[in-house]
Structure 1
Amino acid sequence: MADWIVLSLGGGIVNPEGTPDSEYIKKLAKLLRDSKYNFGIVVGGGRTARIYAQAARELGANEFEADEIAIISTRQNASFVAAALRGDACPIVFSDFDGAREAATKYKVVVMGGTIPGISTDTDAALLAEALHAEKLINMSNVDAIYDSNPKNNPNAKKFTKLFYTDLISLASRGDSRKAGENFVFDLLACKIIARSSIEAHFVNGRSLEDVKKAIDGKAHPGTVIKD
């Protein structure tokens, strides 16, 4: 049986500025189909989820309700990804790990959106990696690596090419509001989950499928690698 790799696929990669990127998803689907690995994919909500969550707050929704609304966006994006992998991916977008794990016995790819309020899709990806005994987790976002501060706001932000789990947890601990759409590039709970199971993690620019392929194949890439 082929080894499993879990992708935490940012919603901003799938659906930049509210427009689904069909051409990108076609290319990603081909990359995954051609790989010797099996894949678990957890898709985020991106900008659309953040917009709806904030609009819900303005209407008086609490954080639980804002999360529920954001989760709908993640599942919409996940359905879009699953459609591109028709034939290789289970057509069901899962919201539970038991279902995903069962489908993993029959399909090359299983796709999930968000699961429950208070849990980010990064955390869902970390849990799926545990459930599937994944070889590694690859975080695909609009950020090309992990930095000591937000590189969009700080041109002097320090980029890390390798970190230990304790380093990652320390960076994530600086700001973890648990609000929908508001977290470090990988939220604190997700960091603790990959640390407890020693799951190797790679952080790459999700728009660069060349870098994604390098991370999949275990080759050097310009992002960040997390392991002991």
Structure 2
Amino acid sequence: MHVVLSIGGSSIIPEGKPDIAFLKAMALTIKKSKNSFGILCGGGTVARTYAAAARELGAGEYEADSIAITSTRQNAQLVMAALAGAGVDVYRRVLTDFEDAKGPARDNKVVVMGGTIPGITTDTDSVLLAEAIGAQRLVNISNVDAVYDSDPRKNPSAKKFQKMAYDELIGLAASSDKRMAGTNFIFDMLACRLIARSRIETHFVSFRKMADVENAIEGKKHNGTVVSS
């Protein structure tokens, strides 16, 4: 089956430089899985920094989005390099269009994308990729280990969700979605509505917990959050 991985930029570059250990571990996890994959890479802190700088220099939101998208595609190239280095059958071009992903997704074990167009977050991109290639499972890999009712890094009493319905996730997204490039929220409103319409089983796990990542990919129990019907 096809599985889409939405890998946050702060998982790829968590502290100012690429996390080589994570990239290698991710590549090996994909290699040993019997699934096929679509991977959508976010921009993370790098994208947020560039988008903020662009705004300070007088750029509008379209320009800030475009700059952030460039960061996502650089991250996608790193992921592609890790996969190729591990001997994974990965399509050797970062795709920028969902329609163009369909053929390579049929012919290769893995296809990799970054952001697509201004105004669309990589959260939404990942769900659109899942719809395009017929994936019924999406794994969101970030620097947060699950979905919480508030930011657990700021609120030690934040409530963690192990299971959620689509409507619950939509409600949570509604309170934090600012629709600006580089803003940080668990999953944006449009992405939430898209997984609901296509009934895509969605898992939220941390890149720091590879056992959870592996289990989520295979649809097994893990310590993150599962969103489903």
- 1:19 maps to which of 13, 17, 20: 17
Aligned-partner Cα distance in 1 for 2:18–2:161: 31
Question: TM-score, normalization: structure 2?
Answer: 0.97
Mapping 1:205-224, distance limit 5 Å: 205-224=206-225
Match of 1:131 in 2: 132
Cα shift readout 1:173-210 (whole Å, capped 9, x = no counterpart): 01211101214211111000000000000001122111
Contact 2:22-2:207 within 8 A present in 1 as well: no
**Secondary structure of residue in 2 paired with 1:114:** coil
Match of 2:175 in 1: 174
Gaps of 5+ in 1: none
Gaps of 5+ in 2: none
Aligned-partner Cα distance in 2 for 1:107–1:189: 29
Aligned-partner Cα distance in 1 for 2:20–2:185: 27
Pick which of 98-107 and 74-83 moved more.
Answer: 98-107
Q: CA deviation at 1:16?
A: 1.3
Cα shift readout 1:44-98 (whole Å, capped 9, x = no counterpart): 0010000000000000001110000000000000001011112511011011001
Cα shift readout 1:140-185 (whole Å, capped 9, x = no counterpart): 0001000111111111110000000000000000121110121421
**Secondary structure of residue in 2 paired with 1:93:** coil
Mapping 1:181-196, distance limit 5 Å: 181-196=182-197
Aligned-partner Cα distance in 1 for 2:102–2:79: 18
**Secondary structure of residue in 1 paired with 2:93:** strand
Aligned-partner Cα distance in 1 for 2:89–2:208: 22
Aligned-partner Cα distance in 1 for 2:131–2:208: 26
Match of 1:120 in 2: 121
Question: TM-score, normalization: structure 1?
Answer: 0.97
Cα shift readout 1:114-160 (whole Å, capped 9, x = no counterpart): 00011111100000111111120000000100011111111111000
Aligned-partner Cα distance in 2 for 1:83–1:95: 17
Match of 1:68 in 2: 66
Q: CA deviation at 1:11?
A: 0.4
Match of 1:140 in 2: 141
User: Percent identity over the alignment?
Assistant: 58
Aligned-partner Cα distance in 1 for 2:128–2:207: 20
Pick which of 157-166 and 209-218 moved more.
Answer: 209-218
Contact 2:12-2:23 within 8 A present in 1 as well: yes
- 1:82 maps to which of 80, 83, 88: 80
Amino acid aligned to 1:10: G
Q: CA RMSD in A?
A: 0.9
Q: Which runs of 4+ in 1 moved over 3 A?
A: none
Q: CA deviation at 1:18?
A: 2.2
How many residues are paired up?
Answer: 226
